[in-house]
Amino acid sequence: MIRRRRLRKGYFILWLAGGVIMLIFSLKKHWLNLASDAAGTFYPPSFLFFIGMLFILLILIHGKFHPAGLRNGGSVSA
């Protein structure tokens, strides 16, 4: 997608933010423990998995409301 210039800046920022959040929680185990305790989970890696799934859900919702095919004003070329 990057070679064809189909990856937009909005998706880049979402992926970068999600990756940074996952990296921080992976490296700072104390922060992960605090966040998982605040969320009410007993096993901190499952909370990290939940954050990843939530991130992917946000990407999918963003793609539903901003479809890539309608960037040109909705015109369909055959």
How long, in residues, is the chain?
Answer: 78
Element (H, E) at 11: helix 9-27
Instruction: Determine how many CB atoms are found less than 10 A away from the CB of residue 73.
Output: 5
From residue 35, give the alpha-carbon distance in Å to each of 2, 8, 47, 67.
34, 31, 8, 33
What are the domain boundaries of the chain? 9-65
pLDDT tens sequence across 5-52:
555 666 777 788 888 988 998 899 999 899 899 999 889 989 889 988
Contact yes or no for 52/25 (Cβ under 8 A): no
Element (H, E) at 32: helix 29-39
Q: Which pLDDT band holds residue 66 (cuts at 50, 70, 90)?
A: low
